[in-house]
């Protein structure tokens, strides 16, 4: 069953907190990667099958795989600092049953997002100059309406600053 679930579903993890040093360390190559900001007020985030807030618990969810995604949207209370949301999509080639038209589907592991849903790309504070130039070039070439931001370490405290300021 586990293998079937892994073949069928794709889980995209999102956070409400773009300036968390722990998140950058864990998920963005120790501050060398990027953080993508999406317009959460548009599809696919607002669809019936859109983003779901993670439930942080001290106990495991029920293992009723047939009736829902509970096991895919539950984590230990220890991870609550992530303020995580998830998009869950079904790989089209492994569709188990016909889903409603608004179900999220991936093709060859990729979820195609609508134009305009990406708002900004924040470059990690430890990204090297060639990576910065490449990211800026890609955004300028392929997504002219997307802001490029830069994360920097605060000089007087353990926190990140993102410029230009988030709106």
Rounded to an integer, the average pLDDT of 27-52 is 91
Distance CA 162, CA 123 (A): 9
* Percent of the chain residues topping a pLDDT of 90: 65
> 78-89: buried (b, 16+ CB within 10 Å) or exposed (e) per residue?
eeeebebbbbbb
Least confident of 28-32, 58-62, 63-67, 142-146: 63-67
Distance CA 92, CA 80 (A): 31
DSSP string, 104-161: -EEBTTBPPPPTT-EEEEEEPTT--HHHHHHHHHHHHHH-TTSEEEEEEE-SSSS-EE
- State pLDDT tens for residues 88-109: 998 888 766 665 566 789 999 8
Both structure tokens of 60: 């495991």
Sheet holding 34-38, edge to edge: 34-38, 118-123, 147-153, 160-163
Q: Identify the band that residue 6 occupies on the pLDDT scale cut at 50, 70 and 90.
A: confident
The mean of the pLDDT values for the chain is 89
Contact yes or no for 65/71 (Cβ under 8 A)? yes
Phi, psi values for residue 28, rounded to 5°: -125, 45
Q: Identify the band that residue 58 occupies on the pLDDT scale cut at 50, 70 and 90.
A: very high
- pLDDT on residue 96: 61
- State pLDDT tens for residues 114-163: 999 999 999 999 999 999 999 999 999 999 999 999 999 999 999 999 99
Domain that holds residue 105: 2-163
- pLDDT on residue 136: 95
Pick left, alpha or beta for residue 109 (phi over 0 → left; psi -120 to 50 → alpha; otherwise beta): left
Q: Identify the band that residue 165 occupies on the pLDDT scale cut at 50, 70 and 90.
A: low
5 secondary structure, DSSP code: H
Residues whose CB is less than 8 angstroms from the CB of residue 36 and which lie 6 or more positions away in sequence, other chains included: 118, 120, 121, 122
Number of separate domains in the chain = 1
- pLDDT on residue 67: 55
């Amino acid at each position: 069953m586990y293998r079937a679930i892994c073949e069928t579903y794709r889980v995209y993890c999102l956070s409400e907190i773009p300036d968390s040093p722990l998140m950058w360390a864990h998920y963005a190559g120790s501050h060398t990667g990027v953080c993508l900001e999406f317009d959460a007020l548009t599809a696919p985030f607002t669809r019936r099958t859109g983003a779901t807030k993670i439930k942080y618990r001290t106990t495991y969810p029920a293992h009723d795989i047939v009736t829902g995604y509970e096991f895919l949207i539950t984590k230990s209370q220890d991870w609550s600092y992530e303020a995580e949301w998830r998009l869950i999509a079904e790989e089209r080639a492994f569709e188990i049953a016909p889903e409603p038209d608004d179900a999220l589907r991936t093709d060859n592991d990729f979820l195609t997002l609508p134009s305009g849903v990406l708002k900004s790309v924040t470059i990690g504070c430890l990204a090297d100059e060639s990576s910065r130039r490449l990211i800026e070039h890609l955004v300028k070439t392929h997504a002219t309406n997307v802001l490029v931001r830069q994360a920097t370490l605060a000089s007087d405290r353990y926190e990140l600053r993102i410029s230009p300021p988030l709106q």
